[in-house]
Structure 1
Amino acid sequence: MKSLELKPLIHVLNELETRSCLIEQQGNMIMNYYREPQIANELYKINSCTKSVISALVSIAMDQQRGPKPETPILEFFPQLATDSDSRKRDITIEHLLTMSAGFNWTEFGGQNSFPTMSKTSDWVQFVLSQPLSDVPGTRMEYSSGCSQLLATILRNVSGQTVAEFAEQQLFQPLSIESYHWETDPQGTHTGGFGLHLRPMDMLKFGRLYLNQGGWEGRQIIQTETVRYSTRPFLPAAKPQKAFYGWHWWTSSFSDETEIGTETDYFYALGFGGQYIVVVPSYDMVVVVTADRFKKKRTPVDIFRQYIVPLLLQQNK
């Protein structure tokens, strides 16, 4: 495998005023780009990449048999659903929350503005549970930070710890992630769908854990089969994403248009405003991007798809 030609990418990163871009391949750091040197040590909000961290924590709890199995109805944790007028809510499972297919009538931004509305209420969990169903649970993916908050609440319940305490013990300390900040909801539960702040290098460690199928320095933090299962495509993602959705991970693929049958699968954590943790198993690669400078006329750019994928296809030739 040839080495990547990175000069064009560095030019693009400078042009876009990208905050950071880290690429690790075959265990080697081949790009360690920061717009300013101090960014390397600054905590930054990873937005909805937080969801993939919640997925990891729920996976760990399940592996340790501290957490419920995927098919467990959430009624076990939210008994108020027993009296809800829509009996279908009693069929919602943990896996439905993980795959964003609980069926709630929800538009994250725009439309009903469900997420901003939830965040202004005094009880986010009750707000989510009270939403009517627009779909039979398990049939359609609809992006919802509400599902993530239910998962965080369940994790707090089954672990007997705050989400951050559980994360420190089971994930952050093993990965030597020493510094973070994590927001909470009005009940003091750490936010499941956003609100975690990390350094770019620690985002990379998290991606590497998944590249290594849950293994870290001789220790199995997440079971290999759990990693494989949670990052496979369960349902087509709601528009505008041209992707599939797993357990709070996005999944997609790219191909060399000049060669038939060259589909390369990858999965990724995605945060609002251009935050990415991308894992490409067949290239033995993790890519991290953080971005913070998007004006009204400049929408976030998918640096991985637009600029790194062409370099990878070039590398193969």
Structure 2
Amino acid sequence: MTTGRMSELLAQAEQAGQVDGLHGVVVVCGGQLLWEHYGTGEDFSWEHSLGPVRFGPTTLHDLRSVTKSVTALLYGIALGDGLVPAPAQPLLGRFPEYPDLAADPDRARLTVAHALTMSLGLDWREDAPYDSPDNGEIAMELAPDRCRYVLERPVVEPPGERWSYCGGATALLGKLIADGTGQALEAYGRAQLFAPLGIEQFHWMTGDDGVASPASGLRLTPRDLARIGELVLAGGVWGGRRLVPASWISEMLTPRLQTPWGAEYGYHWYLQTVAGRQTASAMGNGGQRLIVLPDLELVVAVTAGNYDDPEQWRTPVAVLEQVVLPALEKV
């Protein structure tokens, strides 16, 4: 039985130290919940420890930067309703409160697509720990105006040429969504995405300004995270109702730039081949991962507690490569 095989393979991977810090796994295949596993460990709400948590189907988990990919889905929904600018549109034209920045010809070249692909060409570093003001995202949250902080960073290269991880890019998208829809990001997300998917329980953390963080503030259960993956797998349709334009799903998952480790990047989603399978993934600090494998009609949601660990990627990759895919191959 596939589920028993997954449990067996997971036990072997745990013994081998390949899945340290694993908090939860949900596997959905062909629209059916195939297998789930929950553990115990320390979780955080950003930098605040929640202590040891016994995880289960109804336990919210910090998703960190998986939030970015959800924000991209919300952008597509708003775009379909004509409420936000298209990717090719100038970015600073949507921030008239910064006329001095718009007057800079280097910044005037920025488009929404440069934010969607994290290729703004601005000086931005997130390699410092996420509890340090040396980290770009943390410095942005501490700034009196997060969007101005992002847009006034020094220009270091032409936009669109190189992918450079930037939570500030997602903050700009969140502001465009809020301005265009006239709703707070979390309210728009509830109405247009979470409620239609049947997601009743979620939390979207806010900064000191009371604004939800588009880059890293979302907390969901692994089951509900998997629902988002199912929506992407189905091309934006859920329960016979179109929630996201099909054209946006296609655009979002079109490779545009390459990351330093070899994955390609679309509009806030990672695209790569894993174990010979094409995948689209949302990734977050600590080992949070939502993986969509279209050819298998498979969605894998992983939550973990390896925050700020340089090897955090190993646990979700091992879950997919050492547990889920080998078990399915035996079917």
The question of a shared fold, defined as TM-score above 0.5 by the shorter chain, is answered with yes
Q: How far off is 1:314 after superposition?
A: 7.1
Q: Does 1:229 align with 2:247?
A: no
Q: C-alpha separation between the residues in 2 aligned to 1:53 and 1:295?
A: 21
Query: Could you list the runs of 4 or more consecutive aligned residues of structure 1 that deviate by over 6 angstroms after TM superposition?
Result: none
Alignment partners' CA distance in 1, 2:308 and 2:218: 23
Q: 1:254 aligns with which of 260, 270, 274?
A: 274
Shift of the alpha carbon at 1:100?
Answer: 0.3
Shift of 1:119: 2.2
Q: Given residue 59 of structure 1, which amino acid in structure 2 is its aligned partner?
A: G
Partner of 1:266: 279
Distance 2:193 2:123 in 1: 33
State how far apart, in whole Å, the 2-side matches of 1:71 and 1:280 are.
29
d(CA) in 2 for partners of 1:54, 1:287? 19
Which residue of structure 2 aligns with residue 184 of structure 1? 206
Q: CA deviation at 1:170?
A: 0.5
What is the match of residue 96 of structure 1? 114
1:86 equivalent in structure 2 = 104
Aligned to 1:8: 9
**Which residue in 1 is equivalent to 2:174?**
152
User: Is the partner of 1:31 in helix, strand or coil?
Assistant: strand
**Partner letter of residue 12 of structure 1?**
A
Matched, 1:63 2:80: yes
Give, as a single letter, the amino acid of the residue that structure 1 aligns with 2:293: V
Larger mean Cα displacement after TM superposition, 120-129 or 152-161? 120-129
Moved more, 159-168 or 287-296: 287-296
Of 46, 62, 75, the match for 1:45:
62
Structure 1 position 83, deviation (Å): 2.4
Deviation at 1:301, TM superposition (A): 4.2
Work out which of the residue numbers 197, 200, 203 in structure 1 matches 2:225. 203
Aligned to 2:297: 284
Superposed CA offset, 1:221-279 (max 9, x none): 01222112101211001x3x331111111111134xxxxxxx42101010100000100
Q: Who is 1:258 aligned against?
A: none
Alignment equivalent of 1:127, drawn from 136, 144, 149? 149
Corresponding residue pairs, total:
306
Q: 1:173 to 1:199 in 2, by over 3 A?
A: same
Q: Is the 8 A contact 1:156 1:189 kept in 2?
A: no
2:312 is equivalent to residue 300 of structure 1: yes
Conserved 8 A contact 1:98-1:247:
yes
The TM-score normalised by the length of structure 2 is 0.85
Per the TM alignment, residue 303 of structure 1 is displaced from its structure 2 partner at its CA by: 3.4
Question: Kindly tell me: are residues 11 and 188 of structure 1, through their superposed partners in 2, closer, same or farther at Cα, counting changes over 3 Å?
Answer: same
Decide which moves more: 188-197 or 301-310: 301-310
AA at the equivalent of 1:35: G
Structure 1 residue 34, shift from structure 2 partner? 0.8
Quickly say closer, same or farther: Cα 1:44–1:135, change in 2 above 3 A. Answer: same
Measured in 1, the distance between the counterparts of 2:327 and 2:59 equals: 33
Is the Cα contact below 8 Å between 2:194 and 2:200 reproduced in 1? yes
The Cα RMSD (Å) is 2.4
Structure 1 stretches lacking a partner, 5+ long: 256-262
Aligned-partner SS, 2:56: helix
- Contact 2:26/2:33 (8 A) holds in 1: yes
For residue 107 of structure 1, what is the aligned residue in structure 2?
125
The SS at the match of 1:154 is helix
Deviates more, 1:32-41 or 1:199-208: 32-41
Tell me the SS of whatever aligns to 2:226: helix
Following the alignment from structure 1 to structure 2, what is the Cα–Cα distance between the partners of residues 82 and 210? 38
SS at match of 1:79: coil
1:42 to 1:315, Cα distance in 2 relative to 1, 3 A: closer
Query: Which structure is higher in strand share?
Result: 2
Over 3 Å counting, the alpha-carbon distance change for 1:301 and 1:12 in structure 2 is: farther
- How many angstroms apart in 2 are the aligned matches of 1:97 and 1:247? 9
Normalised TM-score (structure 1): 0.89
